[in-house]
Amino acid sequence: MQDDCFGLAMTAASPEAAQHYDEVLRAYLGFRNDTGIHLKQALAADEGLFMGHCIKGYFFKLFAMPALEIKALESAGRAREFAKVVSARECEHLLALEAWCAGDMIECTARWEGILVDCPRDILALRLAHFCHFYSGNNVAMRDSVARAMPAWQAGEPGAGYVQGMYAFGLEECGEYDAALKMGEGAVKQNPGDIWAVHAVAHVHEMAGRSAEGIAWLKDTEDGWRGCNNFTNHVWWHRALYHFELAQYEEVLRLYDENFRTEPSEDYLDISNAVAMLWRLENAGIAVAGRWDELADKAEKRTAEHLLVFADLHFAIALAAAGRGTKLDRMIDSMRLTISTRRTTQEQVLAEVGATMAQAVRAQYQGDFELALRLMLPLRYHVRAIGGSNAQRDIFSQMLIEAALKSGKHALARALLHERVALKPGSVRSWNLLAEALDGEGRASDAAEARRHAEQLLAA
């Protein structure tokens, strides 16, 4: 047995193998580009490195791509070959990986949470539970999971900042913005390279409608996170969201082309960032030229995956927006077939929310806004089951408002927009849409007042 860098006993053939594994952990926590290199070194130093095979399987699962599902299963198989000699904690990691490979996100998350009760310093279990709570839309579990582990970490010790960064994000997603801001800023102070903590603070500014502060925050911290892996694309997307709120559409497009969609990446998060921004721009009347096509090219190949409903719905939007209705129909057919057997956690989410939302997307782009509204309205408080952050799922709230406005349900649109400006009074776009809804209701002076408010926000 060797100790890992956070003091947990791990099975390794040599201190060298354990040290390489430590570097894998640190690289993973820091969203670094060299994670795979260190994993290769760890497994070269000890081909029977049990946690090395487990973490390799986890990494394959994180991509949510069919070709890598097989590889994740192979890694679990390799780990199982060495399972007889490992600790109970390590064995639980294999059981969690196997459950995840079987598509059971509830079981794998329960395994990680079980590990954390006895070993709150198992930061790998903590980060993976964080991920799966996130993609289950379970914000409270995401927050509380980290709160339970926090007392096992001394402020300032290596790793503690990452735990604080995760806690900051959980707090933010639960609407505890002041606490999230303090926690996130503290984490970044300890470790300027902690992109997840930077991102947690970016979310606070986003939700509070503090666009100028958000831009300043990302500019000020950029040296720390710019060299991270493709998660940087998501952070650039956040930066673009602020500019979008400020109606600085040219800057949004510049960031799109030069920062977060520079490569035609296959990664679902990269694609989701791009889709969510192009949708916003078009919804605001901004032409996006041929940008949908390369996204739809990627989405076309992924109509039958259903590994992550969050990704599926963004693929569906790309297909609809690029005018590829036949492909979207095929995707919806595949969703129907999948939910008839629904074996995995995500397939269950597809049955409860995803397939209907995809049909709403199709209706929206076919101009049948009444149908889109009928499909989306009953699901508005259930969409969170697809996971992602509040900011990411906001696209579906905006689609609902668009459907209400375009189907002539101005009173409903006004009601939804009142809800929206109450939560985020600094959103220029929301006040302008509210004015549109009020105009539709024939309330010209109220509409003028809402427009004035938008102009004042822009001028501030």
Is the Cβ of residue 203 or residue 453 nearer to Fe ion in the bound state? 203
Is the Cβ of residue 136 or residue 389 nearer to Fe ion in the bound state? 389
Smallest gap, in angstroms, from Cβ of residue 441 to Fe ion?
34
Smallest gap, in angstroms, from Cβ of residue 253 to Fe ion?
20
Mention every residue, 6+ apart, whose C-beta is less than 8 A from residue 405: 413, 433, 436, 437, 440
Nearest residue by C-beta to Fe ion?
A: 389
First to last CA, the chain: 60
Kind and range of the H or E element at 405? helix 390-406
**Amino acid, res. 57:** G
Mention every residue, 6+ apart, whose C-beta is less than 8 A from residue 275: 295, 314, 315, 317, 318, 321
Is the Cβ of residue 389 or residue 430 nearer to Fe ion in the bound state? 389
Is the Cβ of residue 221 or residue 389 nearer to Fe ion in the bound state? 389
Look up residue 236 and give its two tokens.
Answer: 């650039």
Measuring CA to CA, which residue among 263, 268, 372 is closest to residue 312?
268
Smallest gap, in angstroms, from Cβ of residue 366 to Fe ion?
30
Number of residues that bind Fe ion (CB under 5 A): 1
Q: Distance (Å, rounded) from C-alpha 451 to C-alpha 428?
A: 9
Smallest gap, in angstroms, from Cβ of residue 391 to Fe ion?
6
Q: Distance (Å, rounded) from C-alpha 212 to C-alpha 228?
A: 24
Is the Cβ of residue 145 or residue 389 nearer to Fe ion in the bound state? 389
Tell me which residues in 294-353 interact with Fe ion (CB under 5 A): none
Tell me which residues in 98-117 interact with Fe ion (CB under 5 A): none
Q: Distance (Å, rounded) from C-alpha 310 to C-alpha 274?
A: 14
Look up residue 27 and give its two tokens.
Answer: 């690289």
**Look-up: residue for tokens 């986890």?**
58
Is the Cβ of residue 338 or residue 389 nearer to Fe ion in the bound state? 389
**Amino acid, res. 358:** A
Smallest gap, in angstroms, from Cβ of residue 275 to Fe ion?
14
Smallest gap, in angstroms, from Cβ of residue 224 to Fe ion?
17
Which string of x and - marks every residue 380-419 that binds Fe ion (by CB under 5 A)?
A: ---------x------------------------------
Q: Which residues contribute to the site for Fe ion (CB under 5 A)?
A: 389
